[in-house]
């Protein structure tokens, strides 16, 4: 698997500055460190982060400087019942368009982390210390299994030839967003949907998880190579907030699998839906109840008809579309 590097070299040709990345050199240098040494060298303390357009724009400034062919387009975050606002979608100012969606393109060779079959949608799950939430007493094998079950929940929706295949992470810390902000992570893309774990970023109060969508660009122009009116997704990256008392039983708040199945829904191009309202008792309610509701009220692992319909509307023609 070819790792996607954030390092770069600058070449001057005919007085024009062009980006040229020597990825082989970067990989060789990284491999001189053990996975644990690389992890320790990159790791820093978690700090609070607001999910704002300005935050996304700063990421894109860094990606442009490093000559990457992708930019972050938006971040979708998931909140608990009773927080100031239900889950929202935040857009970068200069990349993407609120009126357009974004989706993976079949047979897209730019998604080089997919190896020999770019028609597969791949995922990776962080295997470092980030895999263990600070609160709740869960072990890495429990969170890993819960996230993998959440992927299988979507894979078992039989409306397309969508394959969800797990990639390895080379023993390194997953997280482009974290790496750029010097909060851990690493400068590599390992899969189409990356689960970066719990300990890199402590988000604003009320947030359970955040999914960042990165799209391909040609220069600074977002691409739509299959002319379907949707921007081309490069990869998506999921973070879970460390502040909560995480559980894995489908009963206690906050349930890993329930949150993961929601975030992976975003990873597979679904947006929030459902009407959010407050009753006379001050309780938040959604209609219809679904995994992809904008806020989390209680553990909810099973897909509803609206979740399945939304998924199939996106993936029923894959990989033909």
Instruction: Establish if 126 belongs to a structural domain.
Output: yes
Residue in the structure block whose two tokens are 């099973």: 302
Instruction: Establish if 320 belongs to a structural domain.
Output: no
Instruction: Establish if 216 belongs to a structural domain.
Output: yes
User: What's the pLDDT at 11?
Assistant: 33
Residue in the structure block whose two tokens are 């979708």: 76
User: What's the pLDDT at 104?
Assistant: 96
CB 185 within 8 A of CB 196: yes
Instruction: Establish if 191 belongs to a structural domain.
Output: yes
User: What's the pLDDT at 35?
Assistant: 39
Residue in the structure block whose two tokens are 């790496």: 179
User: What's the pLDDT at 282?
Assistant: 66
User: What's the pLDDT at 42?
Assistant: 37
Instruction: Establish if 310 belongs to a structural domain.
Output: yes
CATH number of the domain residue 276 falls in: 3.40.390.10
CB 222 within 8 A of CB 231: yes
Token duo for residue 38: 């690389």
User: What's the pLDDT at 172?
Assistant: 95
Token duo for residue 243: 């502040």
State the alpha helices, DSSP H only, in the chain.
23-31, 35-42, 53-65, 140-155, 176-180, 256-267, 305-315
CA dihedral 188, 259, 209, 295 (to 10 degrees): 150
pTM tops 0.75, yes or no = yes
Instruction: Establish if 93 belongs to a structural domain.
Output: yes
CA distance 302 to 247: 17
Helices and strands counted in the chain (H then E): 7, 16
Of 22, 192, 214, the closest CA to residue 108 belongs to 192
Instruction: Establish if 3 belongs to a structural domain.
Output: no
The count of domains in the chain is 1
Q: What angle do CA 44, 259, 77 make, to 5 degrees?
A: 65
SS3 of residue 55 by DSSP: helix
Token duo for residue 320: 């033909």
Q: What angle do CA 143, 167, 156 make, to 5 degrees?
A: 70
Please state the separation of Cα 77 from the chain's center in Å: 11
Instruction: Establish if 113 belongs to a structural domain.
Output: yes
Is residue 237 exposed (0-12), middle (13-18) or buried (19+ Cβ within 10 Å)? buried
List per-residue pLDDT tens for the chain, 321 residues long: 445 443 333 232 333 345 655 443 333 333 343 434 433 433 444 556 888 999 999 999 999 999 999 999 999 999 986 555 678 889 998 664 444 689 999 999 999 998 778 788 999 999 999 999 999 999 999 999 999 999 999 999 988 778 899 999 989 999 999 999 999 999 999 999 999 999 999 998 889 999 999 999 999 999 999 999 999 999 999 999 999 999 999 998 899 999 999 999 999 999 988 776 666 666 666 778 899 998 898 899 999 999 999 999 999 989 876
Beta strand residue intervals within 121-230, DSSP E: 121-125, 164-166, 193-195, 202-203, 207-218, 221-222
CB 200 within 8 A of CB 183: yes
For 122, 124, 131, 179, 239, the CA distances from 200, given in Å and listed in that order, are 22, 16, 10, 9, 8
Which residues span the domain enclosing 283?
Answer: 9-315
């Amino acid at each position: 698997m070819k790792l996607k590097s954030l390092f770069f070299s600058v070449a001057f040709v005919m007085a024009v500055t062009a980006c040229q990345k020597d990825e082989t050199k970067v990989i060789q240098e990284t491999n001189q460190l053990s996975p644990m040494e690389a992890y320790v060298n990159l790791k820093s303390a978690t700090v609070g982060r607001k999910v704002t357009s300005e935050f996304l724009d700063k990421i894109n400034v860094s990606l442009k400087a490093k000559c990457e062919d992708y930019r972050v387009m938006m971040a979708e975050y998931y909140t608990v019942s009773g927080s100031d606002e239900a889950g929202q979608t935040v857009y970068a100012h200069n990349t993407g368009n609120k009126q357009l969606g974004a989706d993976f393109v079949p047979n897209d060779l730019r998604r080089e982390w997919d190896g020999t079959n770019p028609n597969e949608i791949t995922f990776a799950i962080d295997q470092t210390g980030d895999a263990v939430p600070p609160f709740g007493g869960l072990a890495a094998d429990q969170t890993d299994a819960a996230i993998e079950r959440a992927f299988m929940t979507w894979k078992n929706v039989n409306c397309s030839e969508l394959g969800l295949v797990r990639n390895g992470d080379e023993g390194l810390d997953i997280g482009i967003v974290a790496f750029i902000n010097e909060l851990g992570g690493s400068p590599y893309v390992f899969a189409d949907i990356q689960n970066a774990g719990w300990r890199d970023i402590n988000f604003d109060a009320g947030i359970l998880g955040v999914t960042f969508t990165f799209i391909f660009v040609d220069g600074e122009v977002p691409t739509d190579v299959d002319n379907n009116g949707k921007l081309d997704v490069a990869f998506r990256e999921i973070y879970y907030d460390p502040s909560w008392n995480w559980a894995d039983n489908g009963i206690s708040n906050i349930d890993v699998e329930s949150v993961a199945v929601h975030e992976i829904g975003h990873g597979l191009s679904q947006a929030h839906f459902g009407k959010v309202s407050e009753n006379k008792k001050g309780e938040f309610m959604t209609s219809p109840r679904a995994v992809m509701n904008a806020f989390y009220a209680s553990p909810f692992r099973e897909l509803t008809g609206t979740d399945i319909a939304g998924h199939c509307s996106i993936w029923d023609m894959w990989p033909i579309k």
